[in-house]
Amino acid sequence: MEDHKFIIRAALLYDFKLGKNAAESHRSIIKTFGEDAINKRQCQNWFQRFKSGNEDLHDQPRSGRPQEVVDADLLNAIEIDPSLSSRELAEMFNLDQGSILKHLHQLGKVNRTGKWVPHVLTQDNKKTRINVRSLLLQKCKSHDFFHRLLTSDET
């Protein structure tokens, strides 16, 4: 993705050096790379940047709140104590609860019975489920389990 952005920005700089305007450059890039390559306003912004003398093709540092939680730290915290709630994790990392839930979801974790567990079953989980199912089926067949059940209605 980053390489694709860099290539398009280099094409914009090339067009700028040739003397094209932003609209002409936008049309040629859309024709070459497709409709989703870049929008017209982004082309205008890059051309304005080039006119000011800045020909650096990399993004400028952005203001705003940086990501304060490292995913490895979050995983480590729930491995130590999987019963931590999202509210407790939010207090621990000084973030809001929604951010913690978003990070945990991105890491593939869900809360089941008060513990954070992987969303996708591992091979061991699948084998255990198959073994338990097989044992239950054998027990049902060998002990006439279903023949001992009584059912009735209100009459």
Q: Which tens digits make up the pLDDT trace of 16-63? A: 999 999 999 999 999 998 888 899 999 999 999 999 998 888 888 777
Residue 135 lies in a domain: yes
Residue range(s) defining the domain that contains residue 24: 2-51
Facing residues of 118 across strands? 109
**Residue partners of 25: CB distance under 8 A and separation at least 6:** 11, 12, 15, 16, 43, 47
In this prediction, residue 143 has a pLDDT band, given cuts at 50, 70 and 90, of: low
| Domain shared by 79 and 17, yes or no | no
Residue 105 lies in a domain: yes
CA–CA distance, 67 with 95 (Å, rounded to integer): 10
Q: Give how many domains the chain has, as a whole number.
A: 2
Q: Considering the entire predicted model, what is its pTM?
A: 0.43
| Domain shared by 46 and 113, yes or no | no
Task: Return mean pLDDT, the chain.
Answer: 83
A 10 A CB-CB count for 112 gives: 11
pLDDT-wise least confident of 31-35, 63-67, 84-88, 119-123: 63-67
